Amino acid sequence: MEVLRVRNPPLAPEETTAPYRWRWLILVVMIAAEIMDLLDASIVNVAGPALEESLGAGSVGLQWVIGGYALTLGAGLVLGGRLGDRYGRRRMFLIGLAAFTACSLLCAIAPTIESLIVFRLLQGTAGAMLLPQGLGLLRENFSGPELTKVFAIFGPVLGLGGIIGPILGGFLIEGDFFGLGWRSVFLINLPVGLAALIIAAKFVPRKAGDRAVRIDTVGAVLVAASCALLVLPLNQGQEDDWPLWTWLCMSASVIGFALFAVQQRRTAAAGREPLMRAGLLRKSAFTVGLGGIALFFGGLIGTQLVLTLYLQIGRHFTAGDAGLGNLPLAVGTAIGGAVSGAFLADRIGRRVLQIGPLVQLLGTTVLWFELDGLDTASFSIWDIAPGVAVAGIGAGMVIAALFSFILAAVDDDEIGSASGVLSAVQAVGGSIGVAIFGSVFFAQAETGDFTGGFHRALIVQACLLAAFFAVTFLLPRKGRPEEEQHGVTPEATTCDSDTKQHLTT
């Protein structure tokens, strides 16, 4: 069917035999949405002193401003993915994007720390509706070699968004533009969100959801409660010196996730639609990959937080200088992502996921010795830049390939469920990383030994990287079956292309 040349966007890809004309604009709005989320998850890391001065926020309040977002985000992501299946990913994407942008404005005008925390919880909920739709929309509108190129772009941007957050946050707070101070950290989302909303409304193709999909309310409550029981003590435990209730909550979260798994199997066996497709758990690339995502992002986000804390608390850097301290990591990640996406991922398969953590380990080792040889009187970020940059190169190599590799195992009807689970594991893994690395660092920092705290954090990072490296050997050698790499799927030879679009990944 020929693409119609009209003012409105042409028909969706599944209704035509030609590629969707405006498909690359879809990638643009997906990247914009992901960057908004990643910025808001990390940009407030350098806003602590400013929030304390402006709103009188104590350490508990600051933890909730950072961790409250992750709490509601992680708790709602799986449900968000299934809502996209039922009501359509375009519709849920637009609703989530509009709500996220509005919540950013509310955060910017919050008069008290309590109201800011409430708005951050709402912002996380909006993000849970928004983020799972992005990966699904990319899978719906790109196929074959183009999909590989999409993830070669998407992966590094995903990594850079979280790393650039503290840099941008430090710049905005330090600049105090128009006297807005920390409020500009949230206002930066408004132009990005509004532009993305306009583009998405016009160019993301309409595709009806499947109203036959039933939302598993019991499963949604179980997974949300389990995530909350895990993230809540992780956010609060360090401040309260890990009292008994934190351990009881985390134990209850494990029980909750086990109950969720049992409930999902029973729901499927009864012929009803589970929240998470049972077939996903039978795909080794997906299940093993989820473990890898938790290990990788737990270490990446945790070490990034420790780096910022070390510079601000240990070396008395301003918010702007501490943000710039992440620049070597950002540059390294960009280089690693470009090398992986452009040259390595398609050629060597899972080996790129093994080379990446080895390069990170090398950077961690270099950073260890750089910290040992510091002249504390004349310290600058350039004293540790080589180690941080090398670690960033390794991280970029992994990020560029990891999501593409895992999603290659997912069938078309599992996209919504898979995207929600993947995003939830990434969010919860990052929260766990923040809690673990923060606890390790502060245990030494409280005695004034900031370098020792950083050293201990590097040991934890090395252990996580070693575990991630081991996990990669359980993944298939290639992210896609050989016949799909050549643009042909088995189903494509038997099914009519007018009734079903096959995404050859």
* pLDDT of res. 320: 76
* pLDDT of res. 497: 34
Quick one: average pLDDT of 358-375?
Answer: 89
- Res. 97 pLDDT band, cuts 50 70 90: very high
Q: Which of 137-146, 187-196, 268-277 has the highest mean pLDDT?
A: 187-196
* pLDDT of res. 190: 92
**Of residues 364 and 224, more confidently modeled:** 364
- pLDDT tens readout for residues 335-351: 887 787 656 666 776 78
Q: SS3 string of 126-179?
A: HHHHHHHHHHHHHHHHCCHHHHHHHHHHHHHHHHHHHHHHHHHHHHHHHHCHHH
- pLDDT tens readout for residues 213-234: 778 888 888 988 888 888 778 7
- Res. 492 pLDDT band, cuts 50 70 90: very low
* pLDDT of res. 388: 92
Query: Quick one: DSSP state of residue 208?
Result: -
Q: What whole-number distance in Å separates Cα of residue 48 and Cα of residue 65?
A: 9
Q: What whole-number distance in Å separates Cα of residue 184 and Cα of residue 319?
A: 14
- pLDDT tens readout for residues 284-295: 778 888 889 989
Nearest-Å Rg of the Cα atoms of the chain is 22
Count, in order, helices (H) and strands (E) of the chain: 19, 0
Quick one: average pLDDT of 425-445?
Answer: 81
Percent of the chain at pLDDT > 70 equals 82
| 353 in Cβ contact with 443 (< 8 Å) | no
* pLDDT of res. 490: 37
* pLDDT of res. 238: 67
* pLDDT of res. 188: 86
Quick one: residue 332, left, alpha or beta (phi over 0 = left, psi -120 to 50 = alpha)?
Answer: alpha
- pLDDT tens readout for residues 11-22: 444 444 566 777
Percent of the chain at pLDDT > 90 equals 18
* pLDDT of res. 272: 81
- Res. 478 pLDDT band, cuts 50 70 90: low
Q: For the domain 19-483, what is the CATH code?
A: 1.20.1250.20
Q: What whole-number distance in Å separates Cα of residue 262 and Cα of residue 3?
A: 47
> What is the three-class DSSP state of 333?
helix
486 has a pLDDT exceeding 50: no
372 has a pLDDT exceeding 80: yes
> What is the three-class DSSP state of 468?
helix
Q: Where are the domains of the chain?
A: 19-483
Alpha-carbon torsion angle 299, 381, 389, 184, nearest 10 = 70
